[in-house]
Structure 1
Amino acid sequence: MIHTELHAAGIDDSRLVESYRYCRRLNAQHGRTYFLATRLLAPSQRPPVHALYGFARYADDILDDMEIDASVADRERRLDELSDKFFNGDETEPVLAAVLHTARTYQIPRDLFDDFLTSMRMDLTVTDYPDRPALNHYMRGSAAVIGLQMLPILGTVGPAEEAAPYAEALGNAFQLTNFLRDVDEDLARDRIYLPADELATFGVDRDVLTWCHQNRRTDPKVRRALAAQHDIARGVYRQARKGIALLAPQSRPCVTTAFTLYSEILDRIEAIDFAVFSRRASVSIGRRLQVFAAGLVRARHARGAA
C-alpha cells in the first residue's frame, strides 16, 4: 500500500522513500483517528499528509517523551537543532527529507513552520495561560497552522484564502478536544491548557485541578468549568464545519471523517460526566470503523466523479 501511495505521489528517490515511510509509521502508531481518516484521501495526497504529521510528532516527542530523561535545556537544544536543520535544508533527521520535500512541492509558507516551532518552544517553559488570548497565541502555532499547512494538499474549490479561516478553526477544534480529554495527562507534565480566568469564574485554579488529579475525581466546580470549555469547543466545531464544502470534493470524506470522530470524543467526555481524571474518553473501534466505512463510500464516489 505504501509503495502505491509513494508511486502515485511521484516519489521514488530512495532517501525520500525512507523518510516518507518513517513519517507514515509515526502517523500509524500515534495518530489512530488521524491515520484512519487519511486512508480516505487519494493515494497521492497521503504521503505529504504523513510528512506533516511526522514532523509535528517528532517535535512533540522531543518535548514530551516521558521515557527520555532529559532536562529542559537538553530538550530546548534538540528542538533548536531540529529547527535549524529544517530551515537550513539539512535532512539528517529522519523526518526532514519528507517534510522539506512536501513544503517545497506544495509551496507551504515557511512562516507556518516557524509559528509551529515557536509554540513548541513555549511548551518548554509555559505551564499556564492566564486568558483566552494567551491560549490562542499558543494555539496559533500548535493547531491553527496545522490546518493551514494541510490546505494546499487538500485543495479548495475556490480561493484558498476563503477556506483558510475554517482550516484554522478545524485545527483549533481538534486541539481544544485534546485539551479537555488530556487535562489529567497534561497536569502530570505540569501544564494546564485551559484559560485561568475562565476557570476562576467557577472557583477553579491549579490547586483544585491538582486535587482532582491526585484523587482521580472530578470536583463539582471542575465539572462545571469543563462543561463551559466543552461549549466553547462545540462553537469552534460549528464554525469549522462551514469550511468542509470549500475543500476539493475528493478531500471532503477524509476531513468529514476526522471532524466526526474528533467531535464524538467531545460527546464521550460529556457522556462520562467529565470524569477525565479517572477515564480517557475515546471513540470505540467499532464506531471508528463504521464512520470510516461511510467515508470510504463517499471517497470512492468522489474520486470516481473526478
Structure 2
Amino acid sequence: MNDSTLSRYDRTADAAAAQVIRCYSTSFSMATRALDRATRRDIRNLYAVVRIADEIVDGAAAQANECPETALDAYEELVLHAPHHRFHTDPVLHAWANTHRRCGINNDHVRAFFASMRRDTAQLHYTERDLRDYIYGSAEVIGLMCLDIFLRGRTPSEHDRRAMEDGARALGSAFQKVNFLRDLTEDRQALGRSYFGAPLDDDLKRTLTRQITRELDLACTAIPLLPASARRGVAAAEALFRELNERIAQASVEELSTRRISVPNHRKLWLTAQAIRKVKNA
C-alpha cells in the first residue's frame, strides 16, 4: 500500500466519522464548523466512537436482537486496541485510531466513558452519588478528551491546564444534564431510566437548570485560555446549550414530558455567529 492510497483511506475514514455527527446532532455538528479543519476532524472522529457506544446501550443493539452488554464489551476492546494499528477495515475505528495517536487521548478517560455506558445496560435508577459518577464517565471525560485534541502539540502551564480541565468537565456536565432534561420521555418510557432519583417537578427542574447555568458560566471562564483554533467552536457549543437550558427553564414539566425541547435552525445559526463574533472581539 503506497502513501497516497493510505492517505485517501484516511480521508475516507474521516468522512465516514463526520457523517455520524451530521446524522445525530445538528447542534454539535454546527458548533464543530467553527473549529479549524484539523481540530474539527479529530472532534468528529471522537464523537463517532462515542455515538456508536451510545447507540449500543440506547436500544440499537437490543432491537437487532444482540446483547447490549456483550456488544459494548466487544466495542470497548476494539476502541482501546485500535490505536495500536495503522489500518482498520472499520472506517470509524480507523479515524479514531489516527486521532488517538495524534492527540494523546488518555485511555483512563476512555475506560471511564465505557464504565458509564455499562451502567446504562443494567442500572435504571440513580442515587445522587451514582449520578455524579455516571456524569463523570459519560460527559466530563468527553470534555477532557476534547481538551487533549485542542491542546495537541501545546504545553500550557499547570495552572492554565487545570483551569481548562475544570472548564471542560463543567461543560461536559452541563451538556449531559441538558440532554437528560431534553430526553426525559425517551429515557423514562422507552428505556425505563430515572437519572434524578425522583420524578421531575418544578423545584427539581429549577435546581437542575441553575446548576447547568453555573457550569456553563465556569466553562466560559476557561474559553479564553484555549488555543484560538478551538475557542470559536467551544464558544458556539456553549451558546447553543445555554439557549437550550433557558428554553428548558421556561418550559413546564408537562412540556418536557411530552416533547423534546429544541432550538430552530435559524436561531442556531444566529447564536453561532454571535458566539464567533464575541470571541473574535475579545
TM-score under structure 2 length normalisation = 0.86
Indicate the SS of the match to 1:128: coil
Q: Distance in 1 between matches of 2:271 and 2:211?
A: 25
Q: Distance in 2 between matches of 1:297 and 1:162?
A: 23
Q: Which amino acid is 2:252 matched to?
A: D
CA contact (8 A) 2:185 2:257 kept: yes
Q: Does 1:240 align with 2:219?
A: yes
Q: Distance in 2 between matches of 1:152 and 1:87?
A: 16
Indicate the SS of the match to 2:219: helix
Q: Distance in 1 between matches of 2:135 and 2:57?
A: 16
- The percentage of counterpart residues that share the same residue type is 29
1:238 Cα deviation after fit: 2.1
Q: Distance in 2 between matches of 1:92 and 1:190?
A: 35
1:141 aligned residue (125, 137, 161): 137
1:28 aligned residue (17, 22, 25): 22
CA contact (8 A) 2:54 2:117 kept: yes
Q: Does 1:254 align with 2:233?
A: yes
- Give per-residue Cα distances to partners, 1:108-148, cap 9 Å, x unaligned: 111111111111111100111112x2111111110000000
2:72 aligned residue (70, 79, 92): 79
Alignment match, 1:281: 261
- Give per-residue Cα distances to partners, 1:179-209, cap 9 Å, x unaligned: 1111111102101121x2xx3xxxx4xxxx6
Change (3 A) 1:293 1:230: closer
Alignment match, 1:93: 90
Change (3 A) 1:150 1:42: same
- Structure with higher helix content: 2
2:192 aligned residue (186, 190, 198): 190
Alignment match, 1:57: 51
CA contact (8 A) 1:173 1:240 kept: no
- Give per-residue Cα distances to partners, 1:130-182, cap 9 Å, x unaligned: 12x21111111100000000112223764433311111111011101111111
Change (3 A) 1:11 1:297: farther
The count of aligned residue pairs is 267
Q: Distance in 2 between matches of 1:35 and 1:122?
A: 27
1:295 Cα deviation after fit: 4.1
Q: Which amino acid is 2:31 matched to?
A: A
Q: Distance in 1 between matches of 2:275 and 2:6?
A: 29
Alignment match, 1:268: 247
1:297 Cα deviation after fit: 4.7
Q: Distance in 2 between matches of 1:52 and 1:225?
A: 32
CA contact (8 A) 1:127 1:192 kept: yes
Q: Does 1:117 align with 2:118?
A: no
1:13 Cα deviation after fit: 2.0
Please provide the CA RMSD for this pair. 2.4
Q: Which amino acid is 2:192 matched to?
A: D
Change (3 A) 1:298 1:154: farther
- Give per-residue Cα distances to partners, 1:41-100, cap 9 Å, x unaligned: 1112111011000000011111114585246x7111111111112222373433111111
1:47 aligned residue (28, 35, 41): 41
TM-score under structure 1 length normalisation = 0.80
Q: Which amino acid is 2:30 matched to?
A: L
- Give per-residue Cα distances to partners, 1:220-263, cap 9 Å, x unaligned: xx223222222222222222222112211232111111101101
Change (3 A) 1:150 1:57: same
Indicate the SS of the match to 2:242: helix
- Give per-residue Cα distances to partners, 1:263-285, cap 9 Å, x unaligned: 11111112222320122211111
1:28 Cα deviation after fit: 1.0
Indicate the SS of the match to 1:193: coil
Change (3 A) 1:292 1:182: same
Q: Distance in 1 between matches of 2:114 and 2:230?
A: 27
CA contact (8 A) 1:158 1:246 kept: no
Q: Does 1:127 align with 2:124?
A: yes
Q: Distance in 2 between matches of 1:27 and 1:268?
A: 23
